[in-house]
């Protein structure tokens, strides 16, 4: 098992007084599960929404509730603590806290703490939509952004007042993804640009039908997430429709057909370092999609579809990038994979036997054999797809270095 992605990282989590403060408890728990050490600091207003004991029980650390209490050792130590932090996350950030942070308002505990933090600041606003939309709040957020803070935009939805608008605390997956992205920026792939493809292409037959395959997109999304965590700038070209969310901090291009994927890849690889194609691309598409829904009126009960070959996307890329492919095989796995490596001019191919239940399509794990252009072959054990992703990125990094 690889180390949890946030192990060794210290996160100071500032919680301010919004009804969304209860979500900060779940956020704390998830950051801890990812291996981070979390120090919670609460404004007095936040402590009225959620008891500090909740956070203390989760983190096994005293919660900073009053930076100005003369008797509080931990408050006196806040400068040291802030200096150790790898990230300062404020979630939820109220309009008041956003203003205090923007203008370093003396007397505000959040602002006092933030003054001592040199780590990147990630702000997750949550407030009534009219407060969020107010020019004062927008100007404060712009100022903080200008100083380097990362803003995780709130979501549209039903607010505490019962009104609907933009102001709900962002989804925790998005907040955590942003934290991982920001913390990963100094990772071993920092400065690299990696293009990843995911999912099965959809080739239209008529306006309501298409030809596709069993790819869920999990393998490609895992590679994008792992590369993002290691500091790469990632472009993910995916056919997987929402609600499958791409990792925060990843530039996502959604496509449907092989031809659309080819065009997106051709554009994205310009200036990139590596292209990793985990997508299952249809080798054939209907010669022409019928303009109207095809009816079952033909007398003999047979429908003939004429299919034409799709271009080979990997083979068509001649940009100077490290090209990595996957081979989805049901028989003669290594032999077929080797042939694809040569035909497509790849540096590496990851062969997976897609007939095994714990490997290939839709599984959360995969068992791949990595074949290098040099002829080296490495058979990896069955692993979660995120670990397969890291193993492949280790090889890509070695080639780039």
Which sequence positions are flagged as catalytic? 213
**Alpha-carbon gap, residue 291 to 369, rounded angstroms:** 43
Q: Are 101 and 123 in contact (CB under 8 A)?
A: yes
Q: Toward ligand PMT, which CB reaches closer, 258 or 272?
A: 258
Q: Are 354 and 331 in contact (CB under 8 A)?
A: no
Q: Are 220 and 199 in contact (CB under 8 A)?
A: yes
118: Cβ–Cβ under 8 A, 6 or more apart, which residues? Answer: 82, 83
Q: How far is the CB of 181 from ligand PMT (least distance, A)?
A: 22
Q: How far is the CB of 381 from ligand PMT (least distance, A)?
A: 16
Q: Toward ligand PMT, which CB reaches closer, 248 or 327?
A: 327
Residue 392 is inside which H or E element, if any? helix 385-400
Q: Toward ligand PMT, which CB reaches closer, 126 or 354?
A: 354
Report the alpha-carbon angle 343-210-340, nearest 5. Answer: 10
Q: How far is the CB of 11 from ligand PMT (least distance, A)?
A: 30
H-assigned helices in 104-193: 109-116, 129-133, 135-146, 172-184
Q: Toward ligand PMT, which CB reaches closer, 124 or 278?
A: 278
Q: How far is the CB of 386 from ligand PMT (least distance, A)?
A: 11
**Helices 95-103 and 109-116, interaxial angle, to 10°?**
40
Q: Toward ligand PMT, which CB reaches closer, 65 or 359?
A: 359
* Binding region for ligand PMT (CB under 6 A): 215-219, 258, 277-281, 283, 310, 312-314, 325-328, 340, 344, 352, 354, 360-362, 366
Q: How far is the CB of 303 from ligand PMT (least distance, A)?
A: 24
Q: Are 111 and 3 in contact (CB under 8 A)?
A: no
């Amino acid at each position: 098992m690889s180390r949890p992605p946030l192990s060794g990282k210290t996160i100071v989590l500032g919680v301010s007084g919004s009804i969304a403060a209860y979500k900060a408890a779940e956020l704390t728990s998830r950051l801890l599960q990812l291996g981070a050490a979390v120090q919670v600091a609460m404004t007095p207003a936040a402590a009225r929404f959620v008891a500090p004991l909740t956070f203390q029980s989760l983190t096994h650390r005293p919660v900073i509730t009053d930076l100005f209490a003369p008797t509080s050792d931990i408050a006196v130590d806040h400068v040291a603590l802030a200096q150790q932090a790898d990230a300062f996350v404020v979630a939820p950030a109220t309009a008041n806290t956003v203003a205090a942070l923007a203008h370093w308002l003396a007397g505000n505990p959040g602002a006092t703490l933030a003054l001592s933090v040199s780590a990147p600041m990630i702000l997750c606003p949550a407030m009534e939509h009219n407060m969020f939309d107010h020019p004062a709040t927008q100007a404060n957020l712009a100022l903080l952004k200008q100083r380097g803070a990362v803003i995780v935009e709130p979501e549209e939805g039903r607010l505490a007042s019962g009104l609907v608008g933009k102001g709900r605390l962002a989804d925790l997956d998005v907040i955590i993804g942003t934290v991982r992205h920001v913390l990963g920026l100094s990772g071993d792939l920092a400065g690299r640009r990696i293009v990843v493809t995911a999912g099965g292409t959809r080739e239209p037959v008529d306006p309501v039908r298409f030809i596709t395959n069993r790819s869920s997109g999990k393998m490609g999304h895992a590679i994008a997430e792992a590369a993002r965590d290691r500091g790469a700038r990632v472009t993910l070209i995916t056919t997987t429709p929402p609600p499958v969310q791409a990792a925060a901090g990843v530039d996502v291009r959604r496509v449907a057909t092989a031809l659309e994927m080819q065009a997106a890849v051709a554009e994205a690889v310009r200036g990139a370092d590596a292209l990793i194609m985990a997508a299952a691309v249809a080798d054939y598409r209907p010669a022409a999609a019928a303009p109207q829904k095809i009816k079952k009126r033909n007398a003999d009960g047979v429908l003939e579809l004429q299919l034409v070959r799709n271009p080979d996307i990997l083979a068509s890329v001649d940009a100077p990038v490290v090209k990595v492919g996957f081979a989805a095989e049901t028989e003669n796995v290594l032999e077929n994979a080797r042939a694809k490596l040569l035909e497509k001019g790849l540096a590496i191919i990851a062969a997976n036997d897609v007939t095994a239940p714990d490997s290939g399509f839709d599984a959360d794990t995969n068992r791949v054999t990595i074949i290098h252009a040099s002829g080296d072959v490495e058979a990896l054990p069955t692993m979660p797809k995120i670990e397969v992703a890291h193993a492949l990125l280790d090889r890509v990094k070695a080639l780039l270095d």
